[in-house]
Amino acid sequence: MTRPYFALVIGAIFFTVFSGPRPEAQPLRDGESLPLETQAGAMPLRKITVYSSGVAFFEHSRVLSGPAVFRLPFTATALNDALKSLLLRDPASAFPLIGYSPEQGLPETLRSLGVDLSGNPGMAEILENLRGEEVEVNVPEPIRGRIMALEYRRAGDGGPAEPWLSLLGPQGIRLLNLAKIDSLRVTNADLNADLERALDLIMASRNSRTRELTITLPGGGSRSVSVSYVIPSPVWKVSYRLDLGNGTSAPARFQGWAIVDNDSDEDWRDVELSLAAGRPVSFIQNLYPPYYQDRPTLPLAIAGSAAPVTYAAADSRQRATLNSPVEKSAAAEELVEFEPSPRAAAPVPAPEPLPVTGADMADQFSFTLSSPVSIDRKSSVMFPLSDTEISVRKFLIFSGVQTGRTVHPAVGAELNNTTGLRLPAGPITVYDGGSYAGDALLEFLNRDEKRLISWGEDLSVTGTSSVSSTRIVTAVTVSGGVMTLNRRQSTEKTYRFRNTGPEAKTIVIEHPITTGAALAEPANYDEATGTAYRFIRQIPPGTGGTGEAELRVREETPLSQRISLTNLTPAALLSYSSSQEIPAAVRTSLAQAVELWRGVEDAEKARTETEARKNAQAAEQDRIRGNLEAAGNETPQGQEYLRRLTALDAEIDRLNGDLERQRAGALEAQAAYENYLRNLSF
C-alpha cells in the first residue's frame, strides 16, 4: 500500500487503537461532584442586557454542589472584550482559574505537543516520530516493545511498498506489518494526554470563529455561581407609533417597540432581557494575543582579568580602633542601624477595607421585560416597550426658514411625555384620522418633558420672513482723548403667513435667539429653547376671513465703540462734528478741534513752503559757485558772481530764521491740538 492509502485504513481506528481503551466511569463517593461540563445544563445563560452603544452584558448562573470545570465559547472578535470584562462570582472558590489557548496558531500548538499531529500525518509518520517510545500492539497476540524504526518493503509480487514496524522487546527485535496490526497503544501516559489535547484542538478548530475560555472552580459545597461579561453586540433599536385618533376628544395613543438582534451562535432560552440606553465609555484592548515588549540588545559584560593591586601596611593604632568594642566607624554605625532587632516584631494591623459606595447611573436607563424571553440564534425579535395614552397638542411649525423664501410650514405636534418612561431617540410613524400621516424623528425624551415633532407640510398655508436693521447712538462720552460711542442695534424680523384653508390654524414660530441681544418686541414669548424663542399665533381661515397673520420680532443689541481722537484724520473729525447722532455740545467741541487742526495744517504748510524756498536758494548758490570757479575771482563776471553769492547767503540766513520760527509754531499748534483733545470731557 502507498502512504495515503495506509493513512486512510489506519485513521479509522486511530482513536481506539492509539490511546487504548478508556477507563470505565467510577461511581461517585459521598460529597464528590462531577465536573460541570458533565452535569446536566452546564452553565445556562440567565440574563442579558443589550446596550445602545454596541455591547451587551451576559450573565450565566447556576447552583453548584462541588468543584467544577466548564467552558464558555466566544467568537474571535469578542474574546478581547471577554478577557477585559469577565466577572466571576463564586463564594467557595478562593483561587479560580480561567484558561485559554493563546493566539499562536493551531500548527504551532500541535508541534509543541509530544504527539505532533500538525500537517495531517498518517499513522506511519506518527510512529516514526515516536522512535524510542514503548508501545503495545496486537497482531493478534499482544506484543510490547520500543519503536526502533519504520521502513517500507515491497512484496515479492512487485506490489506497492508497505510500512513495517521494528520493535525491540524481551524477545528481541520483531518486524511487524502495520497492515496486520489490530490495535496499538502507547504506554506513556503523558503522550496519551498530549494526543487527547491535540485531538481536542483539531476538533475545536473546525469552527475557526470560536475560542473557548476554560473556567475551573475548585470550591466545594452547594452555592450559587455566576459568570458575567460584556462583548460586542448589535445595538437595539426603537421605533414608535403615534395615533392621533379621528379628531375626537379621545387622547392620542403612543406605542413603542424595541428591535433586538441575536447574531450569536447560541439560542437565548428563557433569559431575563433588559434594554439599556445611554453612552457609556467602551473600547477594545488587544488582550488575547501574546504581547512582547521590544528590548535593546547589549554586548556581553565579560569580566576579563583583574589588574594586580598593592596595599600599604596598616597603622597599629588604626587596627586597634577598628577592633575596639567601644568605638565604631560611621560605616559600622550605619550597618548596625539596619540590623534586625532580636525582639519579636509587633504585628502589623491589617488594612481596613476601602469604602465602596454605589450610585444610580443617571446617564443610563433601561427597560427590563416582565417575563423571560427566547430568541433563536441569528434571529431578530420586536418587543413592545409601551402602549399608553400621551398628551399631544397639534401645531403648524415655522422654523429655520431662510429670509425671503416662501415655504409651507411643517405639520407637527408637541409631545408631553406622560408615559412614565424615559424614551430613547427613534423614528415615529404618525397616524391621523385613521390613515398614515408621515414619519417624524424623536430625540431622547425624559419623563414629563415636552418636545416638538413634525411629519409633513401644510400646503394650504405659506409663510415668509423679512429682516431690517438700524443703529442708534444712545450715549457719547469723551475722556482722555478717547470718545466712546454707545449704540443700540435694533434688528426687526417680520413673519407673514397666508392661510387658504377653511379652518383657522395654530402655528408655532421659532425665532432664533441672537447672542447678546435682548427681546424688545413682543414683550413676552410663549416658550424658549437654548437657541430660539417660540411664539404661538393664530392664522384666521382663508374662507370668510382675511387668512393672513403677521408677527414682528424686534431684538436690541448694545454696541460700544472707542475712538482715539488724536488718531483721527481731519475728514473724520469733520464728519463726527457734523453728525446729528452726536450731542450738540460734543459737536461744538469737535468743530473747535477741527479749527485747531487747521491751524496745525497752516503752520505746517508755511514751514514746508519756507523750507522749499531755502532749498531753492541753496541750489542757486551751488550753481553760482560753479560758475565762479570757471570765470575766476578777478574777472568782471567773477566779481558779479561774488556779489550774488553774498546776497544769497543773506537770504538763506533770513529763511533759516523764518524756518526755525515756523517749526516752533507748528509744534506749538500740534501740542495745542492734542492737549485740547486730551482735556475734553463730556
213, three cell numbers:
475560555
Q: What is the rounded CA–CA span in Å between residue 679 and residue 681?
A: 6
Under the phi-then-psi rule, with left for phi > 0, alpha for psi from -120 to 50, and beta for the rest, what region is 41? left
In this prediction, residue 102 carries a pLDDT of 66
Q: What pLDDT band is residue 19 in, cutting at 50, 70 and 90?
A: very low
Mean pLDDT for 650-679 is 86
Q: What is the rounded CA–CA span in Å between residue 180 and residue 163?
A: 10
Q: What is the rounded CA–CA span in Å between residue 681 and residue 481?
A: 9
Q: Which of 114-128, 131-145, 475-489, 579-593 has the lowest mean pLDDT?
A: 114-128
Cell 399608553, located at residue: 388
Q: Which of 193-207, 213-227, 270-284, 449-463 has the lowest mean pLDDT?
A: 193-207
Per-residue pLDDT of 107-145, as tens digits, reads 777 777 777 777 778 778 888 788 888 888 888 888 888
Q: What is the rounded CA–CA span in Å between residue 333 and residue 636?
A: 118
Higher-confidence residue of 524 and 633: namely 524
Q: What pLDDT band is residue 336 in, cutting at 50, 70 and 90?
A: very low
281, three cell numbers:
465609555
From the list 456, 451, 424, 423, the residue with the least C-alpha distance to 440 is: 456
Strand-pair partners of 410: 397, 457
Contacts (Cβ under 8 Å, ≥6 apart) of 231: 55, 56, 58, 74, 78, 81, 82, 85
The neighbour count for residue 593, using CB atoms within 10 Å, is 23
584, three cell numbers:
450738540
Is the distance from CB of 243 to CB of 435 less than 8 angstroms?
Answer: no
From the list 417, 418, 413, the residue with the least C-alpha distance to 430 is: 413
In this prediction, residue 500 carries a pLDDT of 92
Strands, DSSP E only, in 433-529?
435-442, 450-457, 461-479, 482-499, 505-512, 518-521, 527-528
Per-residue pLDDT of 63-104, as tens digits, reads 998 899 988 988 888 988 999 999 999 999 889 999 887 665
pLDDT at residue 582 greater than cutoff 90: no
Q: What is the rounded CA–CA span in Å between residue 578 and residue 581?
A: 9
Per-residue pLDDT of 176-203, as tens digits, reads 888 788 888 888 888 888 888 877 777 7
Q: What pLDDT band is residue 31 in, cutting at 50, 70 and 90?
A: very low
pLDDT at residue 4 greater than cutoff 70: no
Higher-confidence residue of 221 and 305: namely 221
Is the distance from CB of 529 to CB of 552 less than 8 angstroms?
Answer: no
pLDDT at residue 370 greater than cutoff 80: yes
pLDDT at residue 526 greater than cutoff 90: yes
Q: What is the rounded CA–CA span in Å between residue 542 and residue 548?
A: 8
Per-residue pLDDT of 372-429, as tens digits, reads 999 999 999 998 888 888 889 999 999 887 787 899 999 999 999 988 888 899 999 9
In this prediction, residue 522 carries a pLDDT of 94
Is the distance from CB of 506 to CB of 549 less than 8 angstroms?
Answer: no
Q: What is the rounded CA–CA span in Å between residue 145 and residue 167?
A: 5
* pLDDT, mean over the chain: 79
Higher-confidence residue of 512 and 141: namely 512
pLDDT at residue 566 greater than cutoff 50: yes
Q: What pLDDT band is residue 301 in, cutting at 50, 70 and 90?
A: low
- CA angle, 599 then 603 then 608, to 5°: 145
453, three cell numbers:
415633532
Q: Are strands 223-232 and 237-243 parallel, antiparallel or unpaired?
A: unpaired
In this prediction, residue 272 carries a pLDDT of 93
Per-residue pLDDT of 602-652, as tens digits, reads 888 888 888 898 888 888 888 888 888 888 878 888 888 888 888 888 888
Query: pTM, whole model, 2 decimals?
Result: 0.61
Q: What percent of the chain has pLDDT over 70?
A: 82
From the list 336, 558, 569, 577, the residue with the least C-alpha distance to 478 is: 577
In this prediction, residue 137 carries a pLDDT of 86
Is the distance from CB of 118 to CB of 111 less than 8 angstroms?
Answer: yes
Q: What is the 3-state secondary structure (H, E, C) of 159-196?
A: CCEEEEEEEEECCEEEEEEHHHCCEEEECCHHHHHHHH
Q: Which of 11-20, 152-161, 198-207 has the lowest mean pLDDT?
A: 11-20
Most distant pair of Cα atoms in the chain: their distance:
161
**Residue 604 in 3-state DSSP?**
helix
Whole-angstrom CA distances from 275 to 11, 359, 373 are 51, 20, 13
Q: What ranges do the domains of the chain cover?
A: 3-21+35-232, 237-263+381-453, 461-565, 570-679
Higher-confidence residue of 674 and 222: namely 222
